[in-house]
Amino acid sequence: MMHRQPATLIWLNALALWLILSVPSARAFEHPGGLHTLADLERMRTNVLAGNHPWIDDWQKLLKNPQAQANWRPDPRTGSRQRADLDAHAAYLNALRWYISGDTNHAECAARICNAWSADMQGPPTWNDTPGLSGIPIFDFALAGELLRLYPGWKTGGFDRYTNMLVRYCYPVCHRFLAHHNGACISAYWANWDAGNIGALIAMGVLCDHTNIFNEGVEYFEHGAGMGSISNAVPFLYSGGLGQWQESGRDQEHAQLGIGLLGSACQVAWNQGVDLFGYADNRLLAGAEYVAKCNLSYPPATIPYTFYDNCANARQCYLSLNQIGRTDDRPVWELIYNHYAVLRGLPAPYSQAMAQLIRPEGGSADHFGYGTLAFTLAAKTSPFPPNPIPSVPTGLTAEAGVGQVLLHWEKAANDYAQGYIVRRATDIGGPFAPVAAWNNRTATEFIDHSVANGVTYYYVIAATNQAGTSADSPEAHAQPVAAGPLPAGWANAEIGGAGVTGGATFARVGENTFIAQAGGGNIGAKTDALSFIHCGVAGDFIFTARLLDAHWSGRDKIGIMIRESLDPGAKTVALTLGELGNRQCRFGTRPESSAPMTWQAGNDYTLAPVWFKLERNANRVAGYQSVDGTHWFLAGSSLVSLKNPCLVGFALTAGRTRILNTSVFDHVTVQTTSK
């Protein structure tokens, strides 16, 4: 596929290439010296051939990966960065299989992949998210090439063309992103966008023997203005060796992604004698320990957090629970653990625990993985199975709902639980039968939807890991109930022709549970169209509810509301979840009848369950949100004169759909505060 370039871009590429080639390499690079040195590769091969644990366990896992097969066929014509990274991973994994096993079929496969891409790329890549996330596959292509350079059959053929591809076409893309960020304000992009490009520069510098490219990546890691430089990626430091990661208020998947990308960049630099791991008093370790502790499902209240915002107003009020506890998609922890804890002897308890839970590591879409094979330094410090059998879970509670039971238990004093088994019975003492089990998540909660209302259920929980299964916890029980009519004083109204008529029911469980349905409509502009489940309240009050569950259609707004009347253009204050992928909390105000609604941004990455609160104090109304109903964060406040009594309740829309969407609110209270 030919990639056409505008004249300006051609000139910039030519200038960048001239600048690179005009500066002789002042550094004698170590080869191989990407993710692995020759000593690293020999350690892997020796231990695999000897059948030593844990290397052999990860090797056997690697052999099953479709991308590690010698019949993998590259596809450079898709124009997709995701496909580019698939092929880069396949090249790396096949090169690794060749070196360890000696099977040249895998080396030939890796060379075939690299040659296909270097033959096809006749200009800067035009993948999606380029410049930007394109740094990730470029990083991986450079790492794969550095490993494959050991294969004589490639060096005599496609090596020079491959390095030319990276220097001439890929380097300017990475450089341009870090220098200009596509014209955005400096903090608009997340840390992982920078991190992939930083790693790409460092790895390309090594593979292509270009000191200035290598130094550019190192310099950006240490002092860059963007969010991937280490002081911006870890903006806040706390006692106990923790450093808040820049994306910790966004979601835990991206936080782990950034740790993996910068960790790999540091590993390449380390293999060239540059210690980025230790830079700024081991700041990367502080960030890794913070992210690891989050994903070990410690209670959020035990993890310090500082409000974070960027130049695009992506407000992050609290630690995100989105994707928290997952151990199946970010194989990045063996590298961190082995460098800091094993090699350097530094305390890294949370990173060690994550490495142990995932061992032996697999691969993933964004990371080569297989770090148990690649980075384990000594069997004694990385045993397999890695843990003793986990402790018995404690503190199990069962909370009845409508057609469901919410289970929660306490995290054990150690971090040995890789997953859990939930068993259920309809009699005290059993017999118990499993209703759920997992081994890739550390979260200590479960919602049982497969229950019948009016039946009492008894539950026990057992913890699991690679070593075995604990004994069962003490029992907890609950009886889900059916919902009925709304309580006295409450009513459902369809305002402004929302579309499909909604409905609402109520049950006295979960500290007052409301189940509401809505179809169509919108909240905002000069008038609203929504379903409104409400009651009347006079004077000052605090209205609190937890949005437990919501079934999204794509353009919903769901939350709590104060209205002066049921008129579509009535004075209104609302606290809603919706917009931007159904994850933005906003505080809206219509201060006068039929006036446009104005919005203030709450937490930009909000996930149900979430607690909402509206507090009226004379003419001032404030909106708050929380993850636990205890620690509250202001989403917005406004002055609006409302008649007495006004109406408070639940506001629901279903965007442009004409189907009913169901939302569940519990822990509902209306507390009057007027003297």
d(CA 322, CA 555): 20
29 found inside a domain: no
Do 346 and 445 belong together in one domain?
Answer: no
More reliable by pLDDT, 607 or 280: 280
380 found inside a domain: no
Return the pLDDT at 2: 30
Among left, alpha and beta (phi > 0; psi -120 to 50; other), residue 315 is beta
Return the pLDDT at 585: 94
pLDDT digits (tens, 9 = 90+) for 416-463: 899 999 999 999 999 999 999 999 999 999 999 999 999 999 999 999
Domain count, the chain: 3
pLDDT digits (tens, 9 = 90+) for 555-568: 678 999 999 999 99
What is the chain's mean pLDDT, rounded? Answer: 93
Q: How far, CA to CA in Å, does 337 sit from each of 261, 262, 351, 359, 426? A: 15, 14, 6, 12, 45
**How much is the pTM?**
0.94
pLDDT digits (tens, 9 = 90+) for 525-536: 899 999 999 999
At 182, the pLDDT band (50, 70, 90 cuts) reads very high
130 found inside a domain: yes
Decide if pLDDT at 115 tops 60: yes
| Percent of the chain residues topping a pLDDT of 90 | 85
**How crowded is the C-beta side of 320, counted as CA atoms within 13 Å?**
26
Do 532 and 451 belong together in one domain?
Answer: no
Do 495 and 472 belong together in one domain?
Answer: no
Q: What mean pLDDT is predicted for residues 104-132?
A: 96
Do 403 and 361 belong together in one domain?
Answer: no
Closest CA to 526 of 555, 585, 495, 568: 568
Do 179 and 299 belong together in one domain?
Answer: yes
Instruction: Give the long-range contacts of residues 271-277, CB within 8 A, separation 24 or more.
Output: 271/30, 271/33, 271/34, 271/35, 271/36, 271/37, 271/206, 272/27, 272/29, 272/30, 272/33, 272/206, 272/214, 273/30, 274/218, 276/218, 276/221, 276/222, 276/230, 277/339, 277/340, 277/344
162 found inside a domain: yes
At 27, the pLDDT band (50, 70, 90 cuts) reads confident
192 found inside a domain: yes
- Please identify, among 318, 342, 375, the residue that sits at the C-terminal boundary of a domain: 375
146 found inside a domain: yes
Across 187-191, 387-391, 497-501, least confident range = 497-501
- Please identify, among 375, 403, 428, the residue that sits at the C-terminal boundary of a domain: 375
121 found inside a domain: yes
Strand ranges (DSSP E) for 466-565?
468-469, 476-478, 491-495, 503-507, 513-518, 530-537, 541-550, 557-563
CATH number of the domain at 48, please: 1.50.10.100
Do 444 and 503 belong together in one domain?
Answer: no
Do 177 and 281 belong together in one domain?
Answer: yes
Do 318 and 359 belong together in one domain?
Answer: yes
Q: Find where tokens 């870090």 sit.
A: 178
Do 250 and 321 belong together in one domain?
Answer: yes
Do 438 and 516 belong together in one domain?
Answer: no
- Please identify, among 478, 512, 536, the residue that sits at the C-terminal boundary of a domain: 478
**Domain assignment of residue 640, given as a range:** 491-672
78 found inside a domain: yes
Do 319 and 247 belong together in one domain?
Answer: yes
Do 399 and 346 belong together in one domain?
Answer: no
What is the CA 508 to chain-centroid distance, rounded?
36
